[in-house]
Amino acid sequence: MPTPTYRYVVILTAIYISITSLASCQSKTVDPQTDSVFKLAIHYLNTNKPDSFYQLTDQKFRKQVTPNFWASFYEKKISTVLPLTNLTFIARNDSVSQYKVHGKIPLNCYIGLDKQHKIDSFNFTLYQDGIKPTVKEKKALTDNKLITKLDSTVDQAISAYIQTYGNVGVSAGIFYNGESYYYNYGERKKGSEKLPDQHTLYDIGSVTKTFTTTLLALAVDQGKVTLETPIIKFLPDSVAENTDLKEITFKDLANHTSGLPMEPGNLAYTITDVDQPFGNYGIKDMFSFLKHFKQTRQPGAKFGYSNFGSGLLGVLLETIYQQSYPDLVRQYITAPLQMNETVCTIDTVKFKNLAQGYGTGSEPVPFFNLIALRSAGVIKSSAFDLLTYAKTQLFTSNPILSKGVKLTQRTTFDDGSNMIGLGWLHLSENQNLLQHSGSTYGYRSFICVDLSKQIALVILTNNNTPERVAAIGENLIKAIQAIKN
């Protein structure tokens, strides 16, 4: 299964408002009051009056979307698609109306009003009904020589993707028949005509979680903790007093069965920059959320993907080792494996070969910055380094790291739909196929390892379009498995 995109990563927006689903009770009749407010709201957006738009919203909206966040959101997201024209009503239910609008790309817009006719929900998504992907007229750059069966197999999987408008660059690494191969497509930056290579750095997003669980496995091997150790043992006393945390173990954090949410409920209040939604969320915020957390299910009993849980795992490991997360990654993983292009923070003096990230609206976005939740998605890497990491899942001469790697691969949870080791998700519920995918606002990543056939695959992209890179990766590894030499 793919790694879920961050819950708040909504197409072209990061407004943290829950949109009511337009489901079975749709009405095709426009609501005059909503229609009037919607047209006024769009007028304010088109005429560069975000403050006037904000005055149309209610207290519920303003509690979740602060003025600073709204200003950043308008400047970096909404203004990039203006003007919005051809407003066409689609459908509504009791509280939310859906419109199709034309900006620089076609969009759905959802708007909901409270009883006082103030906006309490507002969001955009891409409008895709009946729209065929636009194919680039110019053939994308590539270093694929199209000589071998593997070359052709890779090209069949990636060429259609990279030729679709909105997709910028791809770097792939493959370990097959005992050799490493690298394939690159597109551009590091739009319009640059510079092909990425195996040393180009990308955000890897949630693939970071497998690094974090490897650190946990090493801590277990070193006797610092067990998988069954309750997390409250390493939490501040004021947090550990919350009885709803007492049954959560380290294993529960590592295999997403802790009952903790995807993201914490107090995240939205810390956001000031739409492109860095986790950039201000600190450990104090994390502990504040945990103090008041209410468990809704038995830990260990049900799968529920949690960025927050993975972030908490990293914080606990920092407490156990009395070292920062970046230092732990460097000491125990990247330094022993000589992964010199894998970092938690980009040093622009040291690293020049960077892939510029692009959002769903093709707007440039930065590498992700995270604080308390950095162990859930902060790592940046290259195809060369990430393939080195993938090959370590097959073999390594480092005896210490080998023990940790093997522990992460063992199944710790299996409900028939989700088979999970420590961090690693098993593709098609096959214990020999390890995989994880990642997504940030401007990048997507995928890593897959076939333990039985000794195949490893990594794919990195510098765009976050609706098409899932994980699906391409899953199809590609199946195609590689089927190659007949």
pTM: 0.85
Backbone angles phi, psi at 135, to 5 degrees: -90, 135
Domain contains 154: no
Strands 202-203 and 179-186: unpaired
Q: At 241, which CATH number?
A: 3.40.710.10
The residue written with tokens 């195996």 in the block is 198
Co-location of 233 and 347 in the same domain? yes
Return the SS3 of 273. coil
Long-range contacts of 433-436 (CB under 8 A, 24+ apart): 433/477, 434/393, 434/409, 435/470, 435/473, 435/474, 436/3, 436/206, 436/207, 436/209, 436/210
Q: How many domains in the chain? A: 2
Q: What is the 3-state secondary structure (H, E, C) of 69-89?
A: HHHHHHHHCHHHCCCCEEEEE
Domain contains 145: no
Domain contains 149: no
Return the SS3 of 221. helix
Q: What is the pLDDT of residue 172?
A: 98
Domain contains 427: yes
Domain contains 273: yes
Residue 40: domain span: 32-126
- Cα torsion 35, 38, 43, 46: sign: negative
Q: At 65, which CATH number?
A: 3.10.450.50
As given in the structure block, the two tokens for residue 95 are 């509280």
Q: With beta carbons less than 8 A apart as the criterion, state whether 14 and 8 touch.
A: yes
Number of Cβ within a 10 Å radius of residue 359: 26
Co-location of 259 and 351 in the same domain? yes
Residue by residue, pLDDT tens for the chain (485 residues) are 333 333 333 323 333 333 333 444 567 889 999 999 999 999 999 999 999 999 999 998 988 888 888 988 898 888 888 999 999 999 988 789 999 998 877 888 999 999 999 999 888 776 655 555 678 889 999 999 999 999 999 999 999 999 988 899 999 999 999 999 999 999 999 999 999 999 999 999 999 999 999 999 999 999 999 999 999 999 999 999 999 999 999 999 999 999 999 999 999 889 888 899 999 999 999 999 999 999 999 999 999 999 999 999 999 999 999 999 999 999 999 999 999 999 999 998 899 999 999 987 788 999 999 999 999 999 999 999 999 999 999 999 998 899 999 999 999 999 999 999 999 999 988 889 999 999 999 999 999 999 999 999 999 999 977 668 999 999 999 999 999 76
Co-location of 346 and 440 in the same domain? yes
Task: Write the burial class of residue 199 (CB in 10 Å: 0-12 exposed, 13-18 middle, 19+ buried).
Answer: middle
Co-location of 215 and 91 in the same domain? no
State the Cα–Cα distance between residues 459 and 444, nearest whole angstrom.
8
Number of Cβ within a 10 Å radius of residue 362: 18
The residue written with tokens 């009395």 in the block is 322
Among 105, 126, 147, identify where a domain stops. Answer: 126
Domain contains 21: no
Among 74, 107, 126, identify where a domain stops. Answer: 126
Dump pLDDT digits (tens) for 224-261.
999 999 999 999 999 999 999 999 999 999 999 999 99
Co-location of 262 and 118 in the same domain? no
Co-location of 213 and 302 in the same domain? yes
The residue written with tokens 């200003």 in the block is 71
Co-location of 94 and 236 in the same domain? no
The CA distances from residue 58 to 65, 66, 77, 286, 399, in Å, are 11, 12, 21, 27, 59
Co-location of 246 and 116 in the same domain? no
Domain contains 160: no
State the Cα–Cα distance between residues 442 and 364, nearest whole angstrom.
7
Task: Write the burial class of residue 318 (CB in 10 Å: 0-12 exposed, 13-18 middle, 19+ buried).
Answer: buried
Co-location of 402 and 282 in the same domain? yes
Co-location of 216 and 100 in the same domain? no
Among 126, 143, 165, identify where a domain stops. Answer: 126
Co-location of 119 and 207 in the same domain? no
What totals of helices (H) and strands (E) does the chain contain, helices first? Answer: 14, 16
Give the Cα-Cα-Cα angle 474, 477, 483 (nearest 5 degrees): 145
Q: What is the 3-state secondary structure (H, E, C) of 413-474?
A: EECCCCEECCCCEEHHHCCCEEEEEEECCCCEEEEEEECCCCEEEEEEECCCCCCCHHHHHH
